[in-house]
Amino acid sequence: MKKIFLLTCFLIPVLLPALSQDRLMGKTFATRAVVMARHGMACTSHPLSTQAAIDVLRSGGNAIDAAIAANAMEGLVEPHVNGIGGDLFAIVWDAKTKKLYGLNASGRSPYSLTLAEFQKRGLTHIPSDGPLPVSVPGCVDGWFTLHKRFGKKPMPEILSHAIRYAREGYPVHDEAAFYWPSMIARFSKYPNVKETYAPNGAAPKRGELFRNPALANTLEKIAKGGRDAFYKGDIAQTIDAFMKKMGGYLSAKDLADHTSDWVEPVSTNYRGYDVWELPPNSQGIAALQMLNLLEGYDFSKIPWGSPEHIHRFVEAKKLAFEDRAKYYADPAFAKIPVNELISKSYADERRKLIDLNRAASRVDAGNPALKQGDTIYLTVADEEGNMVSLIQSNYRGFGSGMVPDGLGFMLQDRGELYSLTDGQNNTFAPHKRPFQTIIPAFVTKDGQPFMSFGVMGGGFQPMGHVQIIMNMIDYGMNPQEAGDAPRIDHDGSSEPTGERMTDSGEIKLESGYPYETIRDLMRKGHKVGYGLGGYGGYQAIMYDAVNKVYHGATESRKDGQAAGF
C-alpha cells in the first residue's frame, strides 16, 4: 500500500499539467464545501476535538471555553504534535470590547542551565531530544489565563471531554497512526515512553483504541486544582524529580515562577484588510513583512501558480526570513524594532533588492532604525461573536522524549530553537524564552472581525499565512479553496539557531503546478523539487457580517473537521 501511495504521489505531478487552465487559476481547488452556521463554529485538526468544542458551545460555553476543551482533546488524540508539555499562543476577538487580545503562553529556559554548560559539552546546536532542549511548558497556564479573563464554564466541565476519552479510549486516526511508530522507535530509549504511548508493546494502529489513564489523572488534578496543581503542586514536583534523574535542568522553581503574558497583536494592511500577528518571540511578523513586500506587485495581472507569482513570493520570503534570523527573539533580552520591520517604508526599500528575473543566492538582514525603548492550530467562534485563534505545540513531533513518571505526557523540545552563538538576539540564556515558530493569525476589515486562521508547520507557518491571504484577497478563493490550493515551500534561509543562508535554497512545490512553471523558475536560478509533506495544517473561520454567518474551513491534508450549529 505504501508503494502505491508513493507511486501515486510521483505520478500526480506528471498528470496534473493536463488539467484545465481554470484549475490553475484557483477556481476548483476545494476538496469539500465550506461549512456554514450561525450560532457557533469549531475547526480543528481532529473530529473528536471539534466535537468537544461544539458540545461546550451547545451547553452554554463560549468560544474560549470551547477552544480550551478542543486543545485538551488535541493533546490526547494528536500527541505527535501537541500536548500539555508544550507552549501556546492565542489571539482572541472579544465581542464586548470589539478588540483583539494576544496571549503569549510560551515557557522560558531553566534558571540553572547556562550557555557555558553547552559550550563545555562542545555543542554547537541544542539537541532535539533528551533533557537539554526542555523549557517550561506554558500550555496549562495559557488555558487558565485565557479562562480567567474570558471563560464562562467551570474548568472541570471544560476538561471533562479529554478526561473521559483518555480513560475510556479513542480510535487512533490516520495521521497519528502514521507517525506513532517512528516516535516509539526514536524515544523508546527513554523511561516511560513505551509504558505511556505503547502499552501493548507496539504503537497503536489505525482504528485501534488507545487509552492514556495517566493523562486522565493529570487532567483531573488540573481541573480540580487549577493552574497551581501543574506549576506548584504534585505535578511540578514529579517533573522536578524526573528531570533531576535524567540529568536535566528544569526545576520546580522554573515551573512555579512561570507566567503567561498578554501582548498587543501587531498588524499590517494588505489591500484593505488588516492582518494581525503576535510580536516576537514568535515569528508572526515574518508574515507581515512578506505581505508588505508583495503588496508592491499587482497580482491581478500575475496568474496564480505562474513563475512570476512563485518567484516574487519566494524572494519576499528570503528577505523577511533574514530579518527573522537576526532580530526575532525574547523582547526581554533584545531590542527588536518591530514597528520598523513591519512598516511600509522599510518594505519599499527592501523590495528594491528583489530581481524579478533572477533568484537571489544570498541576502542579508536589513537595518531598520532602532528606537529606544511539526503543532496544532484550531479556531472557534460563538453566538456572541467571540472568536479564538489558538496554536499549541511540543515543537518537534512528540517532543523531547522526556515523559515524567506517571503523568501521561511528554515535555516539549522547544529549547532546540535557541542559538548557541554568542551575541545574537536568540542566544541561549537562563530564564529566557526561545524563538518560537507557532503563530496564530487574525484578519479584520474596517475594524470588524473578518477571519480567524492559522497554518501549523514549523518554519513554514509565515509562508502558509501569506499564501492563505493571497489566495483569498488576490485570487478570490473562498476559505476552503484557499487552504486546498497547492502550496509553496522554500528551504535554505538563515535561521535564528545560527545557520546562515549559503545559496538560493530550494523551492518545494505541492502537486498542482505545471511543468512550464517549474522550467521557468529553474531558468531564473531556482532549485525546484516536489515535496511529499511539510506543507502545514490549516483551519479558518470567516465571518460574513452581512448575513451574520460563520464560514468554516479545515485542512484536507489531515484528519480535521469543521463543524457548526
pLDDT in tens, 98-122: 999 999 999 999 999 999 999 999 9
453 and 360 in a common domain? yes
For position 361, what pLDDT does the model report?
Answer: 87
Strands of 300-416 (E only): list them: 376-381, 387-393
For position 350, what pLDDT does the model report?
Answer: 97
Q: 9 pLDDT exceeds 90?
A: no
Boundary residue ending a domain (417, 444, 479): 417
Which DSSP helix (H) or strand (E) runs through 56? Answer: helix 47-58
**Who wins on pLDDT, 16 or 288?**
288
* 394 occurs within a structural domain: no
Segment 225-238 mean pLDDT: 97
Q: 449 near 285, Cβ under 8 Å?
A: no
145 and 221 in a common domain? yes
For position 8, what pLDDT does the model report?
Answer: 36
DSSP string, 1-44: -HHHHHHHHHHHHHHGGGS-HHHHTTSS--SSPPEEESS-EEEE
C-alpha cell at 483: 487552504
* 393 occurs within a structural domain: no
Give the model's confidence band at 94: pLDDT under 50 very low, under 70 low, under 90 confident, else very high: very high
Q: 14 pLDDT exceeds 50?
A: no
Strands of 202-258 (E only): list them: 209-210
* 386 occurs within a structural domain: no
Domain count for the chain: 2
Determine whether 148 is exposed, middle or buried from the number of CB atoms within 10 Å of its CB (0-12, 13-18, 19+).
Answer: exposed
* 301 occurs within a structural domain: yes
For position 357, what pLDDT does the model report?
Answer: 96
Q: How far is CA 337 from the centre of its chain?
A: 23
244 and 158 in a common domain? yes
Give the model's confidence band at 518: pLDDT under 50 very low, under 70 low, under 90 confident, else very high: very high
211 and 347 in a common domain? no
Express as a percent the part of the chain with pLDDT over 90: 87
* 427 occurs within a structural domain: no
* 423 occurs within a structural domain: no
Residue range 138-160, pLDDT digits in tens: 999 999 999 999 999 999 999 99
Give the model's confidence band at 166: pLDDT under 50 very low, under 70 low, under 90 confident, else very high: very high
450 and 551 in a common domain? yes
Question: How many residues are present in the chain?
Answer: 565
Write down the residue that cell numbers 485538526 correspond to: 45
522-555 burial by CB neighbour count: b if 16+ within 10 A, else e? eebebbbeebeeebbbbbbbbbeeeeeebbbbbb
* 431 occurs within a structural domain: no
Express as a percent the part of the chain with pLDDT over 70: 94
What is the CB-side half-sphere exposure of residue 432 using CA atoms within 13 A? 24
Q: For residues 415 and 135, what is the distance between their CA atoms, to the nearest angstrom?
A: 6
62 and 26 in a common domain? no
Mean pLDDT, the chain, rounded, equals 93
Tell me which residues are annotated as active site: 375
Could you list the residue range(s) of the whole structural domain that residue 237 is in?
A: 43-85+92-257+406-417
For position 370, what pLDDT does the model report?
Answer: 42
Segment 503-530 mean pLDDT: 93
Q: What angle do CA 111, 115, 118 make, to 5 degrees?
A: 110
233 and 371 in a common domain? no
- DSSP-derived letter for residue 435 is P
335 and 313 in a common domain? yes
Which DSSP helix (H) or strand (E) runs through 162? Answer: helix 160-168
Boundary residue ending a domain (417, 451, 468): 417
DSSP string, 91-153: EEEETTTTEEEEEEE-----TT--HHHHHHTT-SS--SSSSTT-----HHHHHHHHHHHH--S
For position 369, what pLDDT does the model report?
Answer: 56
What is the CB-side half-sphere exposure of residue 512 using CA atoms within 13 A? 22
* 238 occurs within a structural domain: yes
Residue 387 has phi, psi (to 5 degrees) of: -135, 140
C-alpha radius of gyration, the chain, whole number: 22
448 and 528 in a common domain? yes
Residue 187 has phi, psi (to 5 degrees) of: -110, 0
Residue range 376-415, pLDDT digits in tens: 999 999 999 999 999 999 998 789 999 999 999 999 999 9
Q: For residues 299 and 313, what is the distance between their CA atoms, to the nearest angstrom?
A: 11
Give the model's confidence band at 374: pLDDT under 50 very low, under 70 low, under 90 confident, else very high: low
456 and 310 in a common domain? yes
Determine whether 15 is exposed, middle or buried from the number of CB atoms within 10 Å of its CB (0-12, 13-18, 19+).
Answer: exposed
Q: For residues 360 and 241, what is the distance between their CA atoms, to the nearest angstrom?
A: 50
Residue range 199-223, pLDDT digits in tens: 999 999 999 999 999 999 999 999 9
333 and 227 in a common domain? no
Boundary residue ending a domain (386, 417, 448): 417
CATH code for the domain in which residue 17 is found: 3.60.20.40
**Who wins on pLDDT, 514 or 294?**
294
For position 482, what pLDDT does the model report?
Answer: 97
315 and 223 in a common domain? no
